[in-house]
Structures are given as structure tokens and as C-alpha cells.
Structure 1
Amino acid sequence: MNTDDVLTPEARDFLDELERTFGERRRALLARRAERLERLHAGELPDFLPETADVRAGDWRVAPTPDEIANRRVEITGPVDRKMVINALNSGAKVFMADFEDANSPTWSNCIEGQRNLTDALDRTISLDTGEKQYALSDNPAVLFVRPRGWHLEERHYEVDGRPMSGSLFDFGLYFFRNHGRNGRYFYLPKLESHLEARLWNDVFTFAQDRLGVPQGTIKGTVLIETILAAFEMDEILYELREHSAGLNAGRWDYIFSVIKKLGHRPEMVLPDRSDVTMAVPFMRSYCELLVKTCHRREAFAMGGMAAFIPSRRDAEVNMIAFEKVREDKEREANQGFDGTWVAHPDLVPIALEIFDEVLGDHPNQIDQKRYDVHVTAADLLDVAATPGNVTEAGLRNNVSVGIQYLAAWLQGSGAVAINNLMEDAATAEISRSQIWQWLHHGRIGADDVTRITAEEMAGLGDGYDDARAIFESIATQPDYVEFLTLPAYDRLTAAEALETA
């Protein structure tokens, strides 16, 4: 695959410099994550940090928001392939988050083509002719945000000094190098576990702006609070990024996955079926309300979570039920004080806009609405035991089926996958296999149950799922918890790519 137009000598020099400057620090923070996990497994519980109490108590604000992103009441997300980029930008949403992370299978082709697509989008020259339909940008496209991969991921197709480069630095660095003169300045930052990881991002931003002659504070990043540990450091994360902050987002699906990953060994932390873990259960409600309170106190955006439903053109009853759930979810977010929300399909944009229009009116956001009534403690954030619901065979079956179907598509190069009228990404597969591990670990299900149901689901799926089953089943059922499903899956993905090019 020819990459010369994207990975120019100048771009390579910039990427190499990023990795040499920040790579070792990234690896040290990952080692810190592992040490923290050991302490949690030894009995420690997360808590607000005593050493940063002054930051939480201090009277400070993030830098002002650029006018073009003052109104973010509906954002749409999706992968970086050409057709989806055009459709998302034309959806009527205020922001499109182009995703190199959970909605992208990180094949080398996807990552490089994605960079080309986003540059064309910023130039407003992006188009596509499928032979059956032509796609082009509308006159008023959404503002483009980009989500690079998390700190834990590498880009094995690009090495610096003999070792793979950070996926985070590769995605961010290549996009910003190519597009800083095209207003390519807005980012979403995933999977952070501490304010020190936010500090690293801030230093990367400062370095990149300095090297490319861009005014400091040009870059704006929204941090996804999608780990239980980051929920205890929201003030500190905003503080570290305050010159470059565009607020926080409630990354709900990865947050549930994180609760199991960090605390799932504890019997009081066993979660019921995934469908029962709604945003209304106590620990999720507390997390959202603390996020809104924290953001608005610092005059930062508080962005709500994902509505993943995909409307059906054949089943009006399915649509009616799903639209009602989406409406209920978005009304709750708007009334909690969120400044905007996420959807995964263009047909959901009008519903979400209608709801936020009713609450916001002519105001671009709700940042001036402070939540003085919210008082969330560490115990509230950790009150997983109060989650109602049960572990059922139907829940197990759904986790097995969705997890294997998603992983099979991911291994074939698709990171955003329509399953059962939902747009699923890697977070769903992570929750699915994590719940199975947790239920096995605590005796809520037996190994025979997993074997039987997996065999039954595989029989219904047909051919083409053997590799996905092998990875999913081995990770979900082994005694020791595997931190990320996408790490062993990436081994398989890159091995397959190597065979194709051999």
C-alpha cells in the first residue's frame, strides 16, 4: 500500500519526534496503571486523591470555548471510512466525532485511508461515487472532532527506533501535522485513568503547537470519562488540560467495562445483565451528575452518552419502542444539565435535537446552570451493589452472540457493526466478555453454560466466526482477567495482514 502522500518525510520526522519525546513517559504511565490495578486487587478501593485536594477546592476555570463549538447539543460518532464520514458530516448534528479508536478496526489501510478522508473532509472536497449513489458534502457540515486511539494501543505498522509507535501519538500527530492549517484542532481523548495521563496529553498538545508554529491553546480536547478511576479525578483532568479543554464526556459503555475490569473481583461489584445496567441505576446516575457539576463549575462542556439504536426500515414496532427509549434517555440527560449528547445514526439526530432544543432554547449550552444540589461521595460512585436486576441465560446468550459477531467483523476490518438494530463498537465486546468472566469468577454461571450457549450461538451464525470465537471464548473464560480484548485481537489482525502482504 502506497502511503507516500500521507507519510511524507516531514510527517515522519514529526511523528518520530513525538514518539522519542513522549514514548517513554507513556510506557511509565502504563506501568503505573498496572501497579494501581494490583493494589485494587489487593483490596484498595478508589477514592478522591488527598494530594490534589487543593485543585478540587480551587476557584479556577478552563479557557474560553471557541464560538464554532459553543453549541454541541447533538454529536454523531462513527468510523473514518469515506461514506460514513460524509453521511455523518451531513447528518444535521453539530459535531461529528471521527473515530480511530473503538469504532475503527486498526488495519493499516483503515488508518491511512482515514487520514486521507479527514483531510478531504476539512478541505470540503470529500466525495464518493459507488456506482449506485453519489455522496458529497452539504453546505453546512458538522464540526469535525477526531478520537485517536488510547494510550494502551500501539501502531505496529510504524516503528521508531525499532519499536512500535504509540497509536495515540500516531493518530493525533499525523492528523494535526496534516491539518493544523485546515482547522484540524478538535479532539476526543479516550480511556484516561488519571490526571497524569491528561497532563501527558496537554504536554503533547503544547509540544505539537510549538513545533508547528501554532498559537498555544489552539487545540481543544474533550476527555471521555469512561474509566472508574478517572471519575475520581474529573477536576484534576480538567485542570491539567485547562488551556486546551473542551470539557468531559460520559463514556457510559466503557465506564461499565472499567468497573468490571478494576473492581469485578469483588463479590459486591457483580453486575446483572447488561440490559439492566441503565443510566438510571445509582452508581451510573451519580457518575453523570458529578460530571455535570464538575464541568459547569469549571465552565467546561458536559457531554452526554451514546444512543446506539439503528432505525429499522422494515419494523415500525421496533422503531417505536427504540425511539421511546432514546427519547427517555436524552430527556434525562438534558434535564441533568448536559450540554449535548451522542447518537450513532443520522435518523436519531432530529429526536435528540428536539429534546435539547426544548431545554436549551436559544442558549447554546447549559454551562451557566450550576448543579449546587449535587453531592456525590466515593461511596455513591462505588454503589454497584444497588444495581437491580439478575444474571440470566438470556443475558449470557446476548453477550456471547454480540461479542463474537462484533469481533468477527473487527477481524475483517469493520469497527462499527450493526447487530440487533444497534451500532456496536469495541466497548460492547469488552463489556460482553467482561461480564462472562465476572459471572464465572463469582459462580453466577458455570463453564458448561458458556460452552453450551456458545455452541448453540455458533450453530446459528454459520461460517466465518471460528477465529472470533477462539479469541472471545478464551479471554472470557480464563482465570485471570485480560485487560483489553483488542490487544490479543490486534495480534491476530496484524498477523493476518502480514500473511496477505507476504
Structure 2
Amino acid sequence: MPTSTLTGTVRVLGEPGDRYDEILTPEALDFIGRLDAAFSARRFELLAERRRCAERIASGVPLDFPRATAAVRADPDWRVAAPGPGLTDRRVEITGPPERRMAVNALNSGARVWMADFEDATSPTWENVIGGQLTLLDAVERRIDFTTPEGKEYRLREDDELATVVVRPRGWHLVEKHLVVDERPVPAALVDFGLYFFHCARRQIEAGRGPYFYLPKLENRYEARLWNDVFVLAQDLLGIPRGTVRATVLIETLTAAFEMEEILYELRAHSAGLNAGRWDYLFSLIKNLGHRPDFVLPDRAKVTMTAPFMRAYTELLVRTCHRRGAHAIGGMAAQVPGRDAAADEAARSKVGLDKEREAEDGFDGSWVAHPGLVPVCRAVFDEVLGDRPHQLERTRDDVEVTAAELLSVRRTSGRPTQEGVRANVAVALRYFDAWLRGQGAVALGGLMEDAATAEIARVQIWQWLRHGLVSGETVREIVADEAAALGKEYPWARVDEVVALFERTALERELPAFFTTDAYARHLTFKAEALA
């Protein structure tokens, strides 16, 4: 593992704000600098390997389970670490941005875990990044109570049943341009992880919990190994025993699905399991194989978890986790309870059926996006688990998944509908507008949309155009209609910027890997004078 020799000083280019000095202390910046010095070069190499891998897949090299790691998969004896304090029972997890109101609601919700999301549910403005760290610090200190200007009070419960905090930093592909070393931006993953770990790791340990993380967008075992080395160095630098960190990896990329066991193996001293990040998984499938006509997907609403390739993915995940003593956590229920009684009941029923399938398949818990759905998810898992904290004993030895089954998309393929095209355009434009204005999780049409669902929306449009299933003229007409509707609905909307972003990321011949990298660089960064 690299040493922690500091080669440069982290400079702050973001504007100062209220209480920012509590987060951006000299000691915290030095800690970030040491992580950056140890791991930035390796991160850069792994991102280059991502591009090479994508080129190999595009050239026709078939995806399969790695032969080089067959011994790891065949070895029946290794196991991941035991669950950390507060992570034994994970039957309901709630996700959302690290914003004060969300934090109070999530911690009070009755969920066992709150996943504080700097990745898909946060628009990474400088205010949101540092404000999110302040939210987490105040939550750990139990001083997050506040009253809105309208007089509504948000207070933490007095009991000890608050959700366990698990932080999702941004992925390896993103940078934080407001913190630089020698004019080079620091990897956003190290910023989000490092600031939380520096300020809250020991506090969480003293509170009977620990520094816990969700790791997004990993594509292979080497990226998991990088995270493991980050954990080891961070613990050493702060004098925290190795193995204190716990991390759950989201299996949300196609290539990672072929290396689930290897990812657990690399993180085994720090692993808390795997999560079925199903929305990003569909996004990744289109990114990697969307150029092929046999991988065309229909409207995203029609790609359910009962599709053969999605069943293969989730059943393999449960089997892999339970074979190694790790939690398997189900996917997001994005429904938002509404005021219309019939629509609300329909949403709850749909969520209940989804969670029943997961619990019966062997998952140990699952995600919801709204506090109102916590009781629905909890009731389902209570029925299956009873007094047990999980069902790790269900090793699912009956499951055998082949590479062909993970890629059996043809049986789910189909042509898009006019309604599906319009729905994707509408979601993408509205979400892009909210994201550019600093909002990363948005309720649209009864669903909580985030960056993952917006990514699916725009890459499906790209795929359908690529294969001539919809015309460019039709798409542009719909874009114009939905842009006009957006401007009418929200007079403050940044319509021209939103349309330009959509055109760059969905309508060009070459598909950008993420809309967030383009939008962040163009719209969410600024430079003030470097702070002393």
C-alpha cells in the first residue's frame, strides 16, 4: 500500500460559508491531502482501465467471470467480517441527501439504516458538499434539531432507536474542483469519505456505532482493493483499529456483477455486504452494450425485477453474499406516497409486492426513498425474518447463474412507446433543471428521481435513436414541447442550459459516460480567492 507522505497542500477554492471552518480545518485538509497523495495516481490508472474495458466490450470481447480469480470463487472457507455495531439488522434502509430536514426525518423514520447520499441524491454544489458534512457532524452530535422560517419543528427522537448512519461518497469518476493540490482537483470520493471519517469516525465509535459507508459505481475488484487500502490508511492515520470501517458495495455496474465474490474478497476485513443498485445497473448495461441491437430495452417502466436478466443478477447477489456471511440488501423503492388515496394505495401495494419478492429471495433488507414507505418495507421483512436480524443462513445453494443468464436481455427487449419516449425526456429535463439549481433528489410523477434514474432516461433516448426506433425529429419535437412546459411550470427554470445539456449527453453520436461530469464542470464550479 502507498505511504502517506504529503506531497502538496490542499487549497480551498470554494467560497466561505457559515460554519465551514468547522469542517475545513487545517488538520482535516492535511488528512485529505495525505489520502490524495497516496491514492490519486492509482485512481487515475483505474479510470484509464475503465475506458480500456469499455473499448474491449464495444469491440465484441465477451463478458464472463474472470478466470484469473477462479480460486477465490472456488475457496469455500473465506468469510467477510462480522457486522459492525448497528449493522446486524438492516431490514429497512432509507436513502436521501445529507440535508438537515431529510436527516431528521430519516433518523426518526423507524428505518434501521439511513444512507446519507453524496452521490446520486446530491447535486454537488460547494454548499451541498460542505453543508452535508455539517449535517452529518450535527447528526452524530445529536444537535441537528431546527425550526424552519415557517415555524415547522424538526426534532430527533429521545430514544436510542435512531437509524444507523451510512455515508455514500461520490464515485471514483468525479472530482471536487473546490479543493485542489497543485492546481489539480482532489478526487471527490476522497473528499466525501475523508471529511466524514476525520470528523465523525471516532465520534461514531464512542456512540456505539462506527464509520460506515456505501461504495458506488465500482466496476471491478481492483477498485474495491483501492477502497480497502483507503480504509487501512485512514484508520492508521487516526489511530483507529484496522477493521473498524464497514462498507457495503452497490453492484450497479455490469462488469461488477461478474466480480461480486472478488469484490467481497478484496474488502473482506471491512465488508458489510452488497446492494442491488438496480437503476444504475440498467444504466450501466445500456452504456456498455447499448450499441448492440440485441440489447435494446423497452420503456424503463416495463423493465421489472422479474425480467430474466434482472432475476439472475439479484439471485446471484444473494447467493454470493450469504455464502460469504455478508448482508444482501435489496433495491430502491422510488415511489412517493401521495395525497390521492387511490394512487397512494397503488404505490404502497406495488412497493409491498416488490419487497415481498426480495424477502422471499433471501435479501436481508431493502431500500426505500420516503419515510412513509418504511412501515411497508418493515412489515414485509418482519413477516419473513420474525425475531431474526437477517437470513444469512439461507445460502441459496440452489442458485447457479451463468454469464449468458446475466446477459439474457433479448427476452426483455422491445420497442419504445411514444409515451415512454416522452416520459424519459420529461424526467431528464426536469431533473437536470433541479440538479443545476442544487437539488439532487426530486419527486416527479409519484417517483423520487435521482441521478441514476435521470441517467437511464437519457441513455435510453440515445439507444433508441442509435437503433432507429425513434426519429431524431420526433425526439427534438418532444424536447421542445417538454422544455416549454418546464418553463411554464417553473418560470425560474434554466431551460436553455437544460436543453443544451440534454442534447450534449443524449443526442450526440458518442454517448458520454455520465451527465454529471459534464454538468458539474460547466455549471456547478466556481473559484474564489484561495482561503488562507
Output the TM-score relative to the length of structure 1. Answer: 0.98
Deviation at 1:498, TM superposition (A): 5.0
Match in the other structure for 2:265: 239
Residue in structure 2 matching 1:363, options 365, 388, 396: 388
Residue in structure 2 matching 1:136, options 131, 134, 155: 155
* % same residue: 58
Distance 2:260 2:146 in 1: 41
Match in the other structure for 2:250: 224
Deviation at 1:473, TM superposition (A): 2.3
Deviates more, 1:37-46 or 1:89-98: 37-46
Distance 1:391 1:158 in 2: 43
| Partner SS state of residue 46, structure 2 | helix
In the TM superposition, what whole-angstrom CA distance separates every residue of 1:23-57 from its partner, at most 9, and x where no partner exists? 00000000000001111111112110000000000
Match in the other structure for 1:327: 352
Over 3 Å counting, the alpha-carbon distance change for 1:14 and 1:498 in structure 2 is: closer
Runs of 4 or more consecutive aligned structure 1 residues displaced over 4 Å after TM superposition: 497-501
| Partner SS state of residue 344, structure 2 | helix
Deviation at 1:472, TM superposition (A): 1.1
Distance 1:83 1:356 in 2: 27
Answering whether residue 518 of structure 2 is matched by residue 488 of structure 1, we say: yes
Distance 2:156 2:264 in 1: 34
Residue in structure 2 matching 1:102, options 110, 120, 126: 120
**RMSD of aligned residue pairs (Cα, Å):** 1.3
Whether the 8 Å contact between 2:436 and 2:524 is mirrored in structure 1 is: no
| Partner SS state of residue 104, structure 1 | coil
Following superposition of structure 1 onto structure 2, how do residues 33-182 of structure 1 map, counting pairs within 5 Å?
Answer: 33-59=50-76, 60-131=78-149, 132-138=151-157, 139=159, 140-182=161-203
User: What is the identity, as a one-letter code, of the residue corresponding to 2:186?
Assistant: M
Match in the other structure for 1:203: 229
Runs of at least 5 residues in structure 1 that lack an aligned partner in the other structure: none
Distance 2:381 2:69 in 1: 35
Distance 1:316 1:365 in 2: 33
In the TM superposition, what whole-angstrom CA distance separates every residue of 1:80-134 from its partner, at most 9, and x where no partner exists? 1111111111111000000011000000010001101101101111111103211
Over 3 Å counting, the alpha-carbon distance change for 1:423 and 1:494 in structure 2 is: same
Following superposition of structure 1 onto structure 2, how do residues 370-389 of structure 1 map, counting pairs within 5 Å?
Answer: 370-387=395-412, 389=414
Whether the 8 Å contact between 1:276 and 1:389 is mirrored in structure 2 is: no
In the TM superposition, what whole-angstrom CA distance separates every residue of 1:438-476 from its partner, at most 9, and x where no partner exists? 001111111011011111112222242221121012211
Whether the 8 Å contact between 1:281 and 1:388 is mirrored in structure 2 is: no
Distance 1:113 1:453 in 2: 37
Whether the 8 Å contact between 1:225 and 1:248 is mirrored in structure 2 is: yes
Distance 2:462 2:418 in 1: 14
Distance 2:498 2:529 in 1: 19
In the TM superposition, what whole-angstrom CA distance separates every residue of 1:302-328 from its partner, at most 9, and x where no partner exists? 000000111112x11111211111111
Deviation at 1:170, TM superposition (A): 0.6
Whether the 8 Å contact between 2:90 and 2:389 is mirrored in structure 1 is: yes
Distance 1:204 1:38 in 2: 28
Distance 1:85 1:11 in 2: 23
Runs of at least 5 residues in structure 2 that lack an aligned partner in the other structure: 1-15, 205-209
Whether the 8 Å contact between 1:19 and 1:165 is mirrored in structure 2 is: yes
Over 3 Å counting, the alpha-carbon distance change for 1:13 and 1:354 in structure 2 is: same
Answering whether residue 305 of structure 2 is matched by residue 287 of structure 1, we say: no
Whether the 8 Å contact between 1:247 and 1:301 is mirrored in structure 2 is: yes
Distance 1:77 1:137 in 2: 17
Distance 2:479 2:236 in 1: 53
User: What is the identity, as a one-letter code, of the residue corresponding to 1:225?
Assistant: I
Deviation at 1:494, TM superposition (A): 2.7
Whether the 8 Å contact between 2:335 and 2:370 is mirrored in structure 1 is: yes
Residue in structure 2 matching 1:28, options 31, 45, 55: 45
Distance 2:266 2:483 in 1: 47
Match in the other structure for 2:207: none
Output the TM-score relative to the length of structure 2. Answer: 0.92
Deviation at 1:398, TM superposition (A): 0.3
| Partner SS state of residue 151, structure 1 | coil
Whether the 8 Å contact between 1:155 and 1:164 is mirrored in structure 2 is: yes
Whether the 8 Å contact between 1:253 and 1:431 is mirrored in structure 2 is: yes
Match in the other structure for 2:480: 455
Distance 1:477 1:379 in 2: 31
Over 3 Å counting, the alpha-carbon distance change for 1:159 and 1:428 in structure 2 is: same
Over 3 Å counting, the alpha-carbon distance change for 1:500 and 1:90 in structure 2 is: farther
Distance 2:413 2:39 in 1: 44
Whether the 8 Å contact between 1:185 and 1:219 is mirrored in structure 2 is: yes
User: What is the identity, as a one-letter code, of the residue corresponding to 2:455?
Assistant: E
In the TM superposition, what whole-angstrom CA distance separates every residue of 1:158-180 from its partner, at most 9, and x where no partner exists? 00122000000110011000111
In the TM superposition, what whole-angstrom CA distance separates every residue of 1:270-326 from its partner, at most 9, and x where no partner exists? 00001011111010110000000000000000000000111112x111112111111
